[in-house]
A and B are shown apart, each in its own frame.
Chain A
């Protein structure tokens, strides 16, 4: 079932400390995070704003270096961005001057691949995400949801070994967000990529993931890891089910224990 080209991720005792405004002052973003992600697994990283979950993702992507600890993608120690990495950012990071199709092809241009080898795949991806008619449009002519779909196509074009998604649907309206959750699940079920999905929406994390990793507030560390047993494909109605609400309640309790959720007095 699992694609052999997919890589797992091994995170060992990773901490990240930023230098503050003055040299003496330091900000600890991550504290001793250890996590194993199996090849082909979908893991949601869930936590309050500023808890360092994005920092962890950026360390895995090789965009930042961990202060201590090690990260491996497959067998390779991460010192620079790993090969064949797909990344999706909160704001789609599409290039305004490229058509939607050319944006999707960007990773191929960066590694000097032959365009003609990948054009059919690019068109197929656009078709899957309902963007076939917009291949030649500029990003500015697209809605927020369509732009983010295009940026997911871009992340998938080079058949990545690992897909990192940093709050990809955080800037979308609720309806579009749910729609994209469904689309992401279905494309994941076909491709079985290893996915690290950072979000602060409990429902989104539970709906999408095999495992939800719950983070504490800063300095971020893992509070608990929940295995989500709900069978796939999960339909949107599953959010109303008893099983689903139990997962959500469990996470809400965790956040309440951390003092993040309080009833008004």
Chain B
């Protein structure tokens, strides 16, 4: 059983890789066959050549964006979970904080981004702040859901063991909410990356967002594509990093088994 499921995992991974290669080959072929201008759509080979011409420079930009993303993400996780814990404490806090958050969330955060440059300057702070703001809501809403959906008999059990509010939160509600919190984190990590890029669009001289914007100004389309490619890879890696941490943290969780 085990070996056959392992084999099927490797087969499906190989198929994914193969499909990507095939798409790239068709892309390359079409660009050459129809003689499409490089400024409109560069061939994959051209993009790769551009990447290979200055790999360390690209890596530096990707690293900067990664740091901004992680800064915003971790801030969002810490603040988001803390807010969720507050929100589930009382009806009053739920009506105030949660309603306020829904209100704030309905404002398109990209539109507020320039404000952060006014407030926080042009350094790393506004990028992290925007990334944080965009990722926050996903963490909070899933954490609230998780903290609230503890089965009644388990809450009764905690009460029958004379568990106080803190003990029940720490020993029952929080571990029980972890799968939901991780679900929120999986959404938040992608959003945090979006936030970091938006921050770099607004004002920056570093990072992949800056690379895209400055290359666009010079109609250097291969460079735009190269930056987008790195972004896509970064996004996928970040997502799977969360999945991996979840697997380590929640070996008991049902969605982790039998796959």
Binding site for B on A (CB under 8 A): 58, 61-63, 80-81, 83, 85, 87, 89-91, 93, 95-98, 106-107, 109-111, 138, 140, 164
Contacts and interface: CB of A to CB of B under 8 A. Distances in A.
Contacts of A97: 175-176, 178, 250, 252-253
Interface string B181-201: 000000000000000000000
Given A63-B159, A93-B154, A93-B157, A110 B171 contact: yes
B160 A61 contact: yes
Interface of B: 151, 153-154, 156-163, 167, 171-172, 175-176, 178, 250-254, 257
Interface of B (DSSP majority class): helix
Contacts of A138: 251-252
Contacts of A89: 153, 156-157
Contacts of B159: 62-63, 81
B160 A95 contact: no
Contact of B156 (A93, A106, A107, A110): A93
Contacts of A98: 252
A93 B178 contact: no
Q: Which 3 A-B pairs have the closest CB atoms?
A: A110-B161, A138-B252, A93-B153
Given A83-B162, A96-B253, A97-B176, 5 more contacts: A93-B154, A93-B156, A106-B171, A111-B161, A140-B257
A106 to B, nearest CB: 7
B136 to A, nearest CB: 26
Contacts of A87: 156-157, 160
Contacts of B157: 87, 89, 93
With most chain A CB atoms within 10 A of its CB, the pick from B157, B162, B250 is B157
Contact of A106 (B153, B161, B250): B161
A140 B161 CA distance: 23
Contacts of A80: 162
A151 to B, nearest CB: 9
Given A93-B151, A140-B254, A109 B171 contact: yes
Contact of A140 (B175, B176, B178, B252): B252
Contacts of A164: 160
28 contacts: A58-B156, A61-B156, A63-B159, A80-B162, A81-B159, A81-B160, A81-B161, A85-B161, A89-B156, A90-B153, A93-B157, A95-B154, A95-B176, A96-B252, A96-B253, A96-B254, A97-B175, A97-B178, A97-B253, A98-B252, A106-B161, A109-B171, A110-B158, A110-B162, A110-B163, A111-B162, A138-B251, A164-B160
Contacts of A140: 252, 254, 257
B162 A63 contact: no
A58 B156 CA distance: 9
Contacts of B252: 96-98, 138, 140
Given A97-B175, A97-B176, A140-B252, A81 B162 contact: yes
Contacts of B156: 58, 61, 63, 87, 89, 93
